[in-house]
Structure 1
Amino acid sequence: MKILFYNWVDYLDDEKRGGGVTVYQRNTIQAMRAEDGISCVFLSSGISYDVLQNGPRWERIKHGPSEDRDIRFEIVNSGVLAPSHHSFGDERQTTEPATAEVFMDFLRKNGPFDVVHFNNLEGLPADVLKLKEHFPETRVIFSLHNYYPVCPQVNLWHQERENCEDFDNGRKCEQCLPHQHDTRIIELANGVAFNLKKRGVRPGTKMFDRGFGPAMRLAGRAVGFYNRRIRKGNGRQTPQVASPTTHSTLLRKVERSHLKFARRRAAMVEAINTHCDKVLCVSDRVGVVASKFGIAPALIQTGYIGTQHASKYSETSPKSTLTKPDGTLTLAFLGYMRHDKGFFFLLDTLETTPADIAARINIVICSRLLDQHCMDRITALSDRFASVLFADGYAHNQLDELLSDVDLGVIPVLWEDNLPQVAIEMHARHIPLLTSDLGGAQELGNTAEFTFKADDSADFIRKIQAMLDGEVWLEEYWQNAMAPYSMDDHLRELKDVYAQPARPIALMASATPETNEDDDAEPIEDPFAGLSDEEIEAAELRASQEG
């Protein structure tokens, strides 16, 4: 069996972009390559740009680690920038013939493939899903690690402040992002980085930083000159959406920009329903959200991600009680200091927790520090809580030490977080989880007493108080709990999915199910956290997606 895996960023990326999806892609490829009778190829697209050559092309990856060079490829100069917020709402996300043709050429030259598994579509036009028209025997699998097909911001997280349950036919998308990047700056940044990396100058080195910064400043001034002189000089404003009419090259169609967002969602959903054999959702909740927005339920299958931490489940055992002998409870937050992840909701809630409850809680926070203000707020908690411990980021091999005294993990997400890796990592160590009612983390414990209403501090505090008062029993939690999937478990399910026959083109779905956006469900992951408001700084930081 020959499998092509796709994600927008290389799974061995020096800059560690792509968050949990990158980790998952690396683990999956390494595990699959160890299997007899399976060969793997990997392709990425949307971040490598060559300032010296125009037009998209595919090639073997020539930069970064030397590991797996025989199977790692990329599309250079893709017409679709990745990640998605770098080309927010660009209609090339659905149709871009030149890039689609390069993708098809890659399949012809490196296939035939039994399976093409998309772990994302960012960096490619959705038209590439039509590959079965050229390769009818190939099985097309699409994994939903985020909500990119129905949300160009990918997280259904409106204006970085609220769960997006209805995009109002695209009108909410018009005002979603607080800052939209100049795509020329992004392409120039990617071009500078690409050419430095090809010459062996790797990100994180002094030489890279010294080369990248000055080059970007020059590029920024060039684009600024273009904006001031060329655009200003023509005395006209470009319509928000414009395309040639079928009858004239002089007249151009002008329309409100929200219509392009409505078309985007409809086109993405139709492409998936029409051309994919299976849509794998990393939790049941993701499937609920996907079907709400039009993905055909018949295509949806839950496929929990395997984790290398699954072995911890057999190596550890549940504690007998949630509280320690002194009556205190140690709760832990791991992850990003981001609004959508619920970090600031948690801070706000802890700051308003009644003193008698706070005095019985030990706090553990393991998160890369955002700024001094966050540190000041964390430090101030020590006046009221039994203790406060903080780690400014962490490595996975440090988790056992960091979590050794933790009684309860907290997953307070404010969006439909597909299934956070940190939740799986704590759960695998028999640490029960208190989760919001959004996203897939709640499925790990599957116990109402350990779920609170998202963004509801009062409900959160009620749940904690019940635990402190001995009204919540761990026996019920672990009876309901789902054992974490190992990589072997996940690979077994993947291979079963891959082995099924491809849907004949004649039987592929041609209609998109009606959606009901008044139903409950949906949100998103904030790929924007940490980006500067300055265009050049934003290009230099180039944020990664969490998944």
Structure 2
Amino acid sequence: MTKILHVSSAFDVDFPGGITNYVRTLASSQLAAGNEVAVLDGGEHETWTSHPLGFMVRGHRATRVQHFSLRSPEDAEVSDSVLDVVRELQPDLVHFHLTIGVGVAFYRRFAELGIPYVISLHDYFLYCPRITMMDWRNTDCGGPEKHKCERCIGVLDQVDLLRRGGRKLSLPLPRIPSRSVTRRNEVISDFFGAAARILPVAARVEELYRREYPGASYTVSHIGSESALAPRLEKTSSARLRLTALGTLSKYKGAEVLAALARRLPKDRVEVRFHGRVDEPRWGRLAEEAGIDLRGPYRPDDLPGILQETDLGVMVPVWEDNAPQVVMEFLNSGTPVLATRMGGIPDFVDERNGFLFDHRSEAELTAAVEFASSLTPERARAWGASLPRLATPADHQRELGRIYEEALTA
């Protein structure tokens, strides 16, 4: 039996998000395998309590992030108080997922505890304080580079009031470079170097992180999905091909790309639906003008019915989305996927189960439209029925077990 501590800050472990869903599922899977498991999350509770799934959970004032900020906290006292929680628990191994709020000193001092640890890379926070690598102009920056990052995370960007005001008024702040992100990443470089293993969730994530921290020990680890265990429901019939996008309609999630696809698709043969939240009214207007059927927010128990009425899933982020679980939901339900060639998506989607395109290329956007236009509902459903399932949480837990064992015996 191994005593495992998962660190996942910023959100309560029960928050319905990709990383928290993953941590919750992993913790319960490891518990079922006979381990002792605890989660330090971003929740309100500051004493250890038993989660309904059986593992122990608590929050901390540092891990409970009130609002997003580009400042890197340097309060050593706060970092030490988080370290005290780890010391008191005395885990055999710590698995980091999100560390927003713990402070720069935490990375410097954690290795001194002598506890083996691994780090899962679910996003880009550990080299990009903006998390998504979407820069101050709201465009994909392409990856870390010292002077570019110092200009993007500038002096004024770290003043929360100015950053929020500029965003609200759509006014870019003047560029005054700051070395704070460089100093922060130098500390995190040592934190990576002392880790037993760094676990990017996709090959592209490893590629990007290696640019900033080339000396760490990386192993790509695809997460398991509970959707691989769900019964595969038979698709309902439809005269038109039904394309479905899920989640949040926003710039980062590809609202403009989705609208561009919808405008060009033949509406007598193809319909495009969106289930989820609209980030800003302008994206809703853009979608409606393109002929997209906005179905509104959905609950988790609505998803099986939505997938039954989907012939082709659509996932078109314009940021390097690490390992979108919506793609896993689509594929495990027997639904081929049309997606942008971004982030971790190519690890899961290729010509055997979908179609990838570069949204920045007019020729590739046209090819994506031609692909969807040529696909009949019957052919899409037959194709989907033949798709294999992806890894389950138990498969992933066994893989992690081997990595943990190596970390503990190193």
- TMscore range, shorter length: 0.7 to 0.9
Q: Do residues 465 (structure 1) and 370 (structure 2) align?
A: yes
User: Quick one: which of 57, 60, 63 aligns to 2:47?
Assistant: 60
CA shift in 2, pair 1:489/1:83, >3 Å = farther
Alpha-carbon displacement from aligned partner over 1:151-205 (angstroms, at most 9, x marks no partner): 011111112621112555244554469x9586699xxxxxxxxxxxxxxxxxxxx
Once the two structures are superposed, residues 432-476 of structure 1 have per-residue CA deviations (whole angstroms, 9 ceiling, x without a partner) of 1111111112222322871101333542232231343369x8799
Residue number in structure 2 paired with 1:334: 246
User: Could you tell me how far apart the structure 1 residues matched to 2:133 and 2:54 are?
Assistant: 35
Measured in 2, the distance between the counterparts of 1:404 and 1:41 equals 36
2:57 corresponds in structure 1 to 72
Residue 335 of structure 1, CA deviation: 1.3
- Alpha-carbon offset, residue 147 of structure 1: 0.6
Q: What is the rounded CA distance, in whole Å, between the counterparts of 1:176 and 1:501 in structure 2? A: 34
Paired residue for 1:122?
Answer: 100
Distance 1:463 1:477, change over 3 A: farther
Which residue number in structure 2 is paired with residue 498 of structure 1? 404
Q: 1:477 and 1:293 mapped to 2: Cα distance? A: 40
Give 1:33-112 correspondences, 5 Å limit: 33-36=31-34, 38-44=35-41, 59-60=46-47, 67=52, 71-76=56-61, 78=62, 82=65, 85-86=68-69, 88-90=70-72, 92=74, 96-111=75-90
Instruction: Please give the alpha-carbon distance, in whole angstroms, between the structure 1 residues aligned to 2:258 and 2:106.
Output: 41
Q: 2:133 aligns with which of 156, 161, 173?
A: 156
Aligned-pair identity in percent equals 18
Higher relative contact order (CA 8 A, sep 6+): 1
Contiguous gaps of at least 5 residues in structure 2: 163-175
1:395 aligns with 2:299: yes
**Residue 286 (1) aligns with residue 284 (2):** no
Q: Aligned equivalents of 2:309 and 2:22: distance in 1?
A: 28
Change (3 A) 1:292 1:446: farther
Q: Is the 8 A contact 2:206 2:220 kept in 1?
A: yes
The letter for the 2-side match of 1:41 is: A
Aligned: 1:270 with 2:190: yes
Off by >6 Å, runs of 4+ in structure 1? 473-482
* Closer, same or farther: CA 339–470 of 1 in aligned 2, 3 Å: closer
1:480 and 1:279 map into 2 onto residues whose CA distance is 34
Structure 2 equivalent of residue 430 of structure 1: 334
Instruction: Specify whether residues 74 and 374 from structure 1 end up closer, same or farther in structure 2 by C-alpha distance, changes over 3 A only.
Output: closer
CA distance in structure 2 between the partners assigned to 1:82 and 1:400 by the alignment:
33
TM-score by length of 2: 0.82
Q: CA deviation at 1:85?
A: 3.6
User: What residue number does 1:23 align with?
Assistant: 21
Gaps of 5+ in 1: 49-57, 186-255, 383-387, 505-547
Q: What is the alpha-carbon root mean square deviation over aligned residues?
A: 3.8
Q: Secondary structure at the match of 1:439?
A: coil
The one-letter code sitting in structure 1 at the alignment partner of 2:243 is: L
Other-structure match for 1:309: 227
What is the CA deviation profile of residues 59-105 of structure 1, one whole-angstrom value per residue up to 9, with x for unaligned ones? 4168xx974798222222x3x8837842x14252xxx4213322332
Deviation at 1:375, TM superposition (A): 3.7
SS of the equivalent of 1:60 reads coil
Tell me how far 1:10 sits from its aligned partner: 4.9
Question: How has the CA–CA distance of structure 1 residues 350 and 501 changed in structure 2, closer, same or farther, with 3 Å as cutoff?
Answer: closer
Higher alpha-carbon Rg: 1
> Which residue does the alignment assign to 2:269?
360
For the structure 1 residues 491 and 11, does the alpha-carbon distance in structure 2 shift closer, same or farther, using more than 3 Å as the test? Answer: farther
The change in CA–CA distance for 1:82 and 1:477 in structure 2 (over 3 A counts) is: farther
> Is residue 314–residue 337 contact of structure 2 (8 Å, CA) maintained in 1?
yes
Rounded Cα–Cα distance in structure 2 between residues aligned with 1:333 and 1:40: 35
The residue aligned with 1:139 is: 116
Is 1:450 matched up with 2:370? no
